[in-house]
Amino acid sequence: EILAAIQGHFAGGVLPLASGASNRPLTGRKVLITAGPTHEPIDPVRYIANRSSGKQGYALAQAAVALGAETILVSGPVNLPIPPGAQMMPIETAAEMLKLVEAELPVDIAIFAAAVADWRVATAADQKIKKGTNGLPELKLAENPDILKTVATAKSKRPKLVVGFAAETQNVIDNAKAKLAKKGCDLIVANDVSADSGVMGGNRNRVHLVSADGVESWPELDKSEVARRLMEDFARRIGALT
């Protein structure tokens, strides 16, 4: 059934692309990708972070370059080499990420693969918070900007295709459908990041594409292969590849 879905995906005479330079359907197109975690400071030495290796976003940037796109990679702190040909712009917090993303618009395809912290600490301390005699510090949280929703619902400069990612530990498909509706994006790439899935930090991934057209579930593949196939899918969705 999964195989059938994949075969359907490549039906209509469209074959997986060779990597030759002769076939670069995204030439002249601009692709923006966010990747990695954000770090939200508590004080000068502490922060709240998300677990994210950045591997999927970096693999997407490599695939975008391979298809000929001008590729902007807005990345949180990770330990990965910058894909040759991509322009990497480092950020630490969600607020910094939103600012850089908005400065890069308009783009043809915007892919939000970063694990952005939903909250930050309302007022990060200027000095290191000391172990007090007066009990524990209270961490007052504030909601971070919703970067995906902000770009997907923008009145001007909305990208042709806005793709979100949903890392879930349960009810993967249902949560992705809810996210699609709530964010106003065109597509959600959903995956299961529960501990036994091995996806967080690992090299393989099993994704589900959730759009208004329905759900397409892919088999488990290397993250680089997932990225290649996703980028071709995105190119098709904007009419750059038929």
Nearer to its own copies, 183 or 228 (CB): 183
CA distance linking residue 102 with residue 158, whole number of Å: 10
117 binds its own copies (CB under 8 A): yes
Site for its own copies in 165-194 (CB under 8 A): 167-170, 175, 193-194
Residue from the set 47, 58, 112, 234 that interacts with its own copies by CB under 8 A: 47
Instruction: Please name which of 186, 242, 238, 233 lies closest in space to residue 213, comparing C-alpha atoms.
Output: 186
Radius of gyration of the chain (CA): 19
- Our finding on whether 15 is near its own copies (CB under 8 A) is no
Active site members: 50
- How many residues bind its own copies (CB under 8 A)? The answer is 36
Work out whether 136 is an interface residue with its own copies (CB under 8 A): yes
Strands 207-211 and 204-205: unpaired
Binder to its own copies among 195, 212, 214, 242 (CB under 8 A)? 195
For residue 96, give Cα distances in angstroms to 43, 88, 108, 172, 174: 17, 14, 22, 29, 30
Q: In whole angstroms, give the CA distance from residue 8 to residue 16.
A: 12
* Residue ranges in contact with its own copies by CB under 8 A: 39, 42, 44-52, 79, 115, 117-119, 127-128, 130-131, 136-139, 141-143, 167-170, 175, 193-195, 200
